[in-house]
Amino acid sequence: MTLSVRSGTSDGAIQVGGADAYSSSGNALVTDNSFSLSASLSRQVADTWAIATYRSCEYVLQVTQSTSYHIIKILVVHDGTNSFRTSYGEMFTGSKLFTVDTTINGANMELGITLSTATSATAKWHSVKVKV
């Protein structure tokens, strides 16, 4: 894993392993990341976060599969036991590429993606996680 701090930037970003992450006020963590989805119809965990640290998250999620694109906004909140999610602003070219779910697994929240076809894809997202 690579850790680099970019000095002299207005966003104060810290780069970890290719993902940008920064805290704007100490109450939220903003990240940009990507994940390679294997050619599988099984659920794949794209992101995880500690439920003891963060109460909620907003995602802008884009999946690219060859020349097809699918984007969605997702809001997630939990009560320590259950995950609650809503999505909106969903758009895609051609056909729907994936479904998304969230679940609590032990001490972590998981963002799961299940592809509609067994063809590899790339997921990119921007997230804002708000502390408990």
Q: In this predicted model, which residue has the larger pLDDT, 66 or 12?
A: 66
What average pLDDT score do residues 28-54 get? 97
98 vs 61: CA distance, rounded Å: 11
- Rounded to a whole number, what is the distance in angstroms from the first to the last CA of the chain? 27
Q: Count of alpha carbons within 13 Å of 71, Cβ hemisphere only?
A: 7
Which carries the bigger pLDDT value, residue 80 or residue 11? 80
CATH of the domain at 84: 2.60.40.1680
Residue 13 lies in a domain: no
pLDDT at residue 10 tops 50: no
Q: Pairing between strand 28-37 and 19-22?
A: antiparallel
Domain membership of residue 32 (yes or no) is yes
Q: Would residue 2 count as lying in a domain?
A: no
Here the tokens at position 102 are: 């969230």
d(C-alpha 84, C-alpha 117), whole Å: 26
pLDDT classification of 5: cutoffs 50, 70, 90: very low
The reply to whether 68 falls in a domain is yes
Structural domain includes residue 96: yes
Q: Is 106 contained in some domain?
A: yes
Beta partners for residue 126, in sequence order: 32, 60
Whole-number Å distance between alpha carbons of 122 and 71: 12
> Total domain count for the chain?
1
User: Would 14 be classed as within a structural domain?
Assistant: no
Give the pTM. 0.82
Q: What is the pLDDT of residues 75-102, one digit of tens each?
A: 999 999 999 999 999 999 999 999 999 9
Residue 12 lies in a domain: no
Q: Which domain holds residue 74?
A: 25-131
What pLDDT, on a 0 to 100 scale, did the predictor assign at position 26? 84
Looking at residue 20, its pLDDT comes to: 61
Angle CA 1–109–12, to nearest 5: 45
